[in-house]
Amino acid sequence: MTEQLKLIHAELVRIREALEARPYAAGAPAAKPASSFAKTDEVPMPTEVIPNAGDVQVHFGKNKGVALSSLGDRSVAWYAQEPEPRLDSSGKPFPPRAEDVQLRNAARTLIHQKRGTLTGAAVQPPKASVTVASVDDENVPF
């Protein structure tokens, strides 16, 4: 039994030495993780141009109630980025909330207005055309 314990101990010592010799060992400085959002220079165009974008107030977090125009460029750029999707228990992303979309578009509008890169017609998402069909209530097949 003691011989087995000595063999196990020796194997553990070799494993520890091998791990410590690797460049990503616990003692080595960890690589800086990639940022979860793009650089501030890579702000996408708004899907809808928001009039008076600087007046839109942040509705969450430490800047809750603060207008975008009173925030710094870096903060506004953070609100302009596309966030990681929140997933439900089945792994499907929740649809974005209207206030989140408005804040994101307002931040994007404000940034592109300051840069002078805002085009007259921002990218509009395709809207489904809804046609109202007339229904004959008397001749319903069921």
Q: What is the average per-residue pLDDT within 85-104? A: 90
Query: pLDDT of 38-92, one tens digit each?
Result: 444 688 889 899 999 999 999 999 999 999 999 999 999 999 998 888 888 888 8
Return the number of other C-beta atoms located less than 10 Å from residue 108's C-beta: 27
Strand partners, 93: 87
pTM of the predicted protein model: 0.56
- Return the higher-pLDDT residue of 55 and 118: 55
Task: State the angle between helix axes of 73-80 and 98-115 in degrees (0 to 180), rounded to the nearest 10.
Answer: 130
- Return the higher-pLDDT residue of 82 and 123: 82
- CA separation for the pair 134, 48 (Å, rounded): 32
Strand partners, 67: 57
SS3 67: strand
- CA separation for the pair 44, 48 (Å, rounded): 12
